[in-house]
Each structure stands twice: as C-alpha cells, then as structure tokens.
Amino acid sequence: MTDTEDGPFNAEQKNRVLEAFERHFNPKDELQYFDPYLSAIGPPTRNPRTTGGYKLWPDEAHPRKPDLTLMTIGNSTSLWPAYPWSLELAQDLSDPDYLVELWHGAGKGNTSSQELMRVLRDAPVIKPDLIISLSGICDIGYLLNAPAYPYLHKYTRKVLDFALEAGIVTRKLVYGPPDSSSPAEVWCRNQRFARLLAEELGIKLLTLLQPVQGYGNYPQSPAEKEFYESKAKVVLKGANKTYGEAVQDFYTEVKSIIAARPEAYSHVVDITDVFDDCPGAYRDHRHQSPLGSTHLAKKILPLARQVIAKGSTS
C-alpha cells in the first residue's frame, strides 16, 4: 500500500482494515504485549518487575548476585497470579543464606514449540542455572498449533490472517514445508532439542509432563466428572477427534516414545499422577485450583533440589 493524502491508507483501505480486525480480534481482550517471535500474548500485570515478557521475583533486585537463577516456562496452567506454583517453588527454595531469582516466562497457550524458542532466544540472555518447564496439554490434537506446521501458533495465524485479509500483506503466506509428525512426536522432538540447547549453554533442564483431567487416576468429584465429560466431547478440528480422545492419544504416545529411548529423555519427569492423592486439585478440566498449585509446588520441590544438586541432568 502507498501513502495517500488521507495518510498511510485511503478511506476504503482503512475501512477494510477495521472490518478485518473486528473479525479476527476481540476488543474485550486486554493484552499488554504481543511477542511475534514466540507468538505469545500477555494480559496486563501488576508485577513490580517485568522485562521482555518475563515476570521477575523477588519484587526488588537482590543486592548481590543470586545463588540460583531459575527460569520457568509453560502454558496458562503456570500463569501468575492464578497458578503460582513456580513462585511458591522459588520461595521454598530460598532462605536467608541462599538467594533465588526467578524469571517466569509461562505464556497463555504456549506449546512446546514456544517453550523451545524461549530456550533458544532467551536463555542465553537470562543465563539461568536451571530451567523448569511444565508442559504437555497445549500440544494435544493441534489445539493451538496448525496441523502440519508445529511452529505456526494460533495467535500468529490471527495476526497474519488479519494482515492478509486487510491487504497489508498482498501475497500468499508460507510457513515452510509441511510436517507430518504427530503432536506427541513434535512434543518429544522439542524436548530433545531443548535439552541440546540447554547442554550447549551449560544450563540444567527439568521438563515435567504435566497432569490433566482425562488421563490417569485423578479422583474426580461428580461435578468435575460432569464438567470434564462436557469438554471431552468437543471435536478438535485440527485433529478431527474429540478433546478426550486427543488427550488419551497424546499422553499414551508420548510415554511410548520416551519408553523407547529413555536416555534421550532423562531430563523429562512424568508427573501426570501428581494429583491422584489430591482431590480438588483442579479449577476446571486442566487448570489447577489454589490447592492444586500449592500441591504441585511441593511435589516439584524435591525434583528441583535433586537437579540443582547434580552436575548435570544427563
């Protein structure tokens, strides 16, 4: 598009842009930032220390270099303030003689592809001693990433589809050659790549295959069971299967892949059963309640300490 006397767009072009925007975006969504490289969005935050899409704890910088710099990544099940397991973990790891600084980079809808990009782009700058990822549920059934394009996320698609429809982009969009890997294969591959990057950077990595209702032996209440069954029937268009089927297929295949090559996934810990002894751990079919978040932090604490104490996660 060329500049006109009306500005960058003429009146007709402006109307087309506005109409396209209304079709692709909800004006009620309050977003503080959009990270196009990660395809990550973030709501407004009152966290005192933020930088580059990360929330930092403590609220004030340490007067001296921390003994442990911790970087946590994941999806909406790790967002503050609703699901602060990582904050509780950092507080539990800290004491007056052991200073911990937390860089928290979980993002709404982040898949393992976004988490991998955080390790590639951000870890060399943050220089954490340990990265902890709580991951899994957002990779099921092409819930957020496009079929055949595991690095093409829903939020980026919205921006680019808007740009194409509005005439800002006038040629077709391409996303690389199509990838026939299953969601489980993509998740496992991303974990191997993240480990290679972390090892190259001299960073310890702990990946947690996260719990979710619909897989395992969580003691659902009648109300939870009814709610979950309503969600389990929803068909995921990308996978052409129900949410419940996608959960089962993903977790079953991930565990099978890991079992076949355990040495390649020694940094991955399966905690899908972490809530089996914690009724009331969920707020909905995949997000934790405050009880569940605290329970999760307590269960992760010894795993984190074990990794910190070792020279390597290998």
> Does residue 106 register a pLDDT over 80?
yes
State the pTM of this model: 0.89
Q: Is residue 282 one of the residues assigned to a domain?
A: yes
- CA 289/CA 5 separation, integer angstroms: 55
Q: Is residue 199 one of the residues assigned to a domain?
A: yes
pLDDT at residue 5, rounded to an integer: 41
pLDDT at residue 314, rounded to an integer: 41
Residue 209's beta-bridge partner residues?
Answer: 135, 270
Average pLDDT over residues 208-219: 97
Interval 260-288: pLDDT, tens? 999 999 999 999 999 999 999 999 999 99
Interval 8-66: pLDDT, tens? 556 776 666 666 656 655 666 666 778 888 887 776 777 878 899 899 999 888 888 99
Q: Is residue 4 one of the residues assigned to a domain?
A: no
Q: Is residue 298 one of the residues assigned to a domain?
A: yes
Q: Is residue 143 one of the residues assigned to a domain?
A: yes
CATH number of the domain bearing residue 182: 3.40.50.1110
Q: Is residue 76 one of the residues assigned to a domain?
A: yes
pLDDT at residue 7, rounded to an integer: 47
Backbone conformation region of residue 207, classed left if phi is above 0, alpha if psi is from -120 to 50, else beta: beta
Cβ(197)–Cβ(261) below 8 Å: no
Q: Could you give the number of structural domains in the chain? A: 1
Domain that includes residue 214, residue range: 31-309
Q: Which amino acid is at 53?
A: G
Residue that wins the pLDDT comparison between 87 and 159: 87
H runs (alpha helix) in the chain: 11-24, 85-93, 112-121, 123-126, 154-165, 183-201, 222-232, 243-260, 290-309
Beta-carbon contacts of 263 under 8 Å, excluding residues fewer than 6 positions away, are none
CA dihedral 30, 55, 107, 272 (to 10 degrees): -140
Q: Is residue 8 one of the residues assigned to a domain?
A: no
Q: Is residue 314 one of the residues assigned to a domain?
A: no
In the numeric block, the tokens 């709501």 are attached to: 43
> Does residue 98 register a pLDDT over 50?
yes
Interval 63-92: pLDDT, tens? 889 999 999 999 999 998 889 999 999 999
